[in-house]
Amino acid sequence: MMKRTLSLAMVLLASATAVSTQGIPVPRDFFGFEIGEDRKLADWGQLTAWYELIAQNSPRVALDTLGKTTRGLPFIMLTVTSPENHRVLHELHATQLKLADPRQIADGAELSRLLDRGKTVVLVTHGIHATEVGGPQMAARLIHRLATANDEKVREILDEVILLDIPSLNPDGLGMVVDWYRQWVGTEYEAAPLPTLYHHYVGHDNNRDWYAFTQIETELTITKAHNVWHPHIVHDIHQMGSTGARIFVPPFIEPWEENIDPLITAAVNQLGSYMAAEMLAGGKAGVVIHAQYDAYTPARAYQHYHGGVRILSETASARLATPVTIRGDELRGRRGLDVSRRSWNFPVVWDGGAWHLSDIVDYMESGVLALLTNAAKNQRYWLENFYRVNQNAVDRWDEWPRAWILPADQVNTTGVDAVLRILTLGDVEVHTAEAGFSAAGRAFRAGSYVVPMNQPYAAFAHTLLSRQVYPDLRQYPGGPPQPPYDVTAHTLPLLMNIEALPIEEPLDVALSEPIPHHEVRYAAPAALSEGRAPRLAVYKSWREPMPEGWTRWVLDQHAVPYDTLHDADIQNGALAQYDVLVFEDQSAEAITNGYSPGEMPPEYVGGLGHTGVAAVKEFVEGGGRVIAVGEATEFAIQALGLGIASATEGLSSQEFYIPGSILRIESVGEDVITEAMPRESAVWYWRSSRAFDIGDARVRVLARFGEGDPLLSGWVLGGEQIAGKPALVEAQVGSGSAVLFGFPPNYRGQTMATWPLLFHALAYHRDH
Ligand SMILES: [Zn+2]
């Protein structure tokens, strides 16, 4: 399954007591600079060569290539443990598999043996956000230290821990960032922002993909690390802004998603607190716990639903590898944290001053070493806690139904396939009913899918299949809402437009064995791929927004041809070649003006400008169609002079607030765009979404937000402000049209329920 570069012969040759570091130079001799040196970044070619060299020469380190990234680079994982553990890795793995599924453990005596024999399994991941450059650089030093050092601390870690280290979760992005940085270092544009997303499709959203598994890198990590080893601890290494605390580690703030086992919450609290204490004892100032980051969305925390803990650390950033100096009066707290004074969760103040990549690397490395030390010293605790969480799930929580059913013969078979893919990739056991049966007053046909809730990863299934009721958290009683760190809903049956039912009674039907990993194939929409398909263009700003990448992803998944147009293309008349132009969710200001002079090298400065805006207007008046989503609707409204306003303009967050929830819309009348959807549909709504007020006879309403309370899942304050208001409209302009989506028809590759609206809006010819 995996290619192991560490040969058995090499393992046997290695001495158990005296580990040779022969053949492994110090990092400076290999890279030509010290790891963390100002303005120096190792690239992916150097880093993979470094790990290959270490794996070839150290009996403590094995290197596996898990697969290829989106752009074809090697995606690798290092397995680090003592040579003795490497020799019996298969046995240690078998032990871990049993603890992961308590149904496989015969009795207390076997459990006791497993708990004695097993090792703490830790997965550390680096650099998912490629501009957070410290993590992958730090990994180079960490792995070298674990491969070569012989101090007590390292030996204890190697003896008791199996470390799985993915030194970059985003090698493509690492390459883009290092190339860009090297191109401009030493010039006035040193450490300028990247003009593209740092993941081919999804940019920063790549760490919001831990239940939808849309991207190759996510799927590789899930199927070849998580689901193989079921780590007790996962540590994702990130960076945050420059002007607050120096590093954040858990405890997380409220809310915790309610299906995460309380034993996991407690384990996160103790581990994060221990890391903070160790770092402070080691002289690291500015460590904060219990701040800013919550534990609500499963999109960032796969392991919380798979028996283990997921720790996030966030270290203060410099400017890529360029140092910054932060004066004491520039330090800023967030969300009630005052970084100028000490407090229970911020015991040692950092006074400001210079902050280098070397500081970032030092803080990160000390955090990982503290985590590994906790994992090593508390081996028994970690295994027992993991076992108990899995046993609790196998026993089924009182709050959970007996099972979830996905009825056979649903209209949206692709949606059912997509949900089954997610559940089975998440290691959920899904069965089919071998005969027809009745439950909850309904008859289900043979072949219906059954997800029993008494299984190890039931929490993953239940969380994704049920509707969320996000707690109404306020900054103070009666005050403004406390903004969630992330979004508040993730109900797959709504997002994917399928039916799934919780069943409270025992099922009386024979079930198949669990189905294998389920795949989904997206069929190309006929109108966009067959015969005379429309000529599609997607606008790509140099301030490239993530929804534009997600739209490219969904078009590529469906094999829909399109071209990407930049500002200069549109300014130079390219629109004559197209029928439809898409503006994804991005502010009118960013589209029109782009980057300012001095912010970026000249070729990336400016947006569409007067010339580009005029070209867009001419395109529509001459028969073309513009599709605009979310904030970009304001661009279309301005460019085309439409009498449309936002229905919630000027409302305070106490009057209207929807941070990322699932709402109901209703189609209005008959139209080719809405004919593919049911009269009522679930849509995503978040901060950049909007409802419209229409004062223009050229505008037709195609769908409205639901009357009454439009909320289906998540959290809404002041839902009545948009109830019944236009959500999707089309404006006739000259002989062309503009289709304005107030909501994103494609939210992070998940809203299959509203993809048909996007496809039907795209299916348009200039002269029809
Ligand atoms: Zn990050």
Contact between 628 and 635 under an 8 Å Cβ cutoff? The reply is yes
Q: Token pair for residue 476?
A: 């103070």
What's the CA-to-centroid distance between 134 and ligand 1, angstroms?
11
What's the CA-to-centroid distance between 364 and ligand 1, angstroms?
13
Residue of 390, 127, 111 whose CA lies nearest to 239: 127
What's the CA-to-centroid distance between 234 and ligand 1, angstroms?
15
Backbone phi and psi for residue 7, each to the nearest 5 degrees, phi listed first:
-80, 155
pTM: 0.96
Instruction: Report the chain's terminal Cα–Cα distance, integer Å.
Output: 53
What's the CA-to-centroid distance between 571 and ligand 1, angstroms?
35
Residue 129 to residue 106: CA distance in whole angstroms: 43
What's the CA-to-centroid distance between 427 and ligand 1, angstroms?
26
What's the CA-to-centroid distance between 372 and ligand 1, angstroms?
21
Backbone phi and psi for residue 6, each to the nearest 5 degrees, phi listed first:
-90, 115
What's the CA-to-centroid distance between 132 and ligand 1, angstroms?
6
Residue 588 to residue 19: CA distance in whole angstroms: 60
Residue of 341, 213, 209 whose CA lies nearest to 286: 341
Q: Who contacts 107 (Cβ-Cβ below 8 Å, separation ≥6)?
A: none
What's the CA-to-centroid distance between 8 and ligand 1, angstroms?
37
What's the CA-to-centroid distance between 129 and ligand 1, angstroms?
5
Contact between 170 and 176 under an 8 Å Cβ cutoff? The reply is no
Is the previous residue joined to 251 through a cis bond, with omega within 30 degrees of 0? yes
CB atoms within 10 A of CB 532: 8
What's the CA-to-centroid distance between 266 and ligand 1, angstroms?
24
Residue 637 amino acid letter = I
What's the CA-to-centroid distance between 144 and ligand 1, angstroms?
24
What's the CA-to-centroid distance between 703 and ligand 1, angstroms?
36
What's the CA-to-centroid distance between 301 and ligand 1, angstroms?
13
What's the CA-to-centroid distance between 688 and ligand 1, angstroms?
21
What's the CA-to-centroid distance between 50 and ligand 1, angstroms?
24
What's the CA-to-centroid distance between 691 and ligand 1, angstroms?
31
pLDDT for residue 532? 83
Residue 239 to residue 356: CA distance in whole angstroms: 13
Residue of 382, 366, 155, 419 whose CA lies nearest to 264: 382
What's the CA-to-centroid distance between 179 and ligand 1, angstroms?
20
Backbone phi and psi for residue 217, each to the nearest 5 degrees, phi listed first:
-65, -40
What's the CA-to-centroid distance between 748 and ligand 1, angstroms?
17
What's the CA-to-centroid distance between 403 and ligand 1, angstroms?
36
What's the CA-to-centroid distance between 735 and ligand 1, angstroms?
46
What's the CA-to-centroid distance between 258 and ligand 1, angstroms?
24
Contact between 28 and 13 under an 8 Å Cβ cutoff? The reply is no
What's the CA-to-centroid distance between 253 and ligand 1, angstroms?
18
Alpha carbon distances (Å) from 443 to 407, 448, 512: 9, 10, 18
What's the CA-to-centroid distance between 210 and ligand 1, angstroms?
14
Q: Token pair for residue 318?
A: 């410099």
What's the CA-to-centroid distance between 238 and ligand 1, angstroms?
4
What's the CA-to-centroid distance between 251 and ligand 1, angstroms?
17
Low pLDDT (below 70) residues in the chain: 1-20, 768
What's the CA-to-centroid distance between 209 and ligand 1, angstroms?
13
What's the CA-to-centroid distance between 239 and ligand 1, angstroms?
5
Residue 667 to residue 681: CA distance in whole angstroms: 8
pLDDT for residue 767? 75
**Sign of the alpha-carbon dihedral angle for 582, 583, 584, 585:** negative
What's the CA-to-centroid distance between 90 and ligand 1, angstroms?
34
What's the CA-to-centroid distance between 199 and ligand 1, angstroms?
13
pLDDT for residue 15? 36
* 3-state secondary structure (DSSP) of residue 369: helix
What's the CA-to-centroid distance between 193 and ligand 1, angstroms?
15
What's the CA-to-centroid distance between 248 and ligand 1, angstroms?
12
Residue 310 to residue 313: CA distance in whole angstroms: 10
CB atoms within 10 A of CB 28: 11
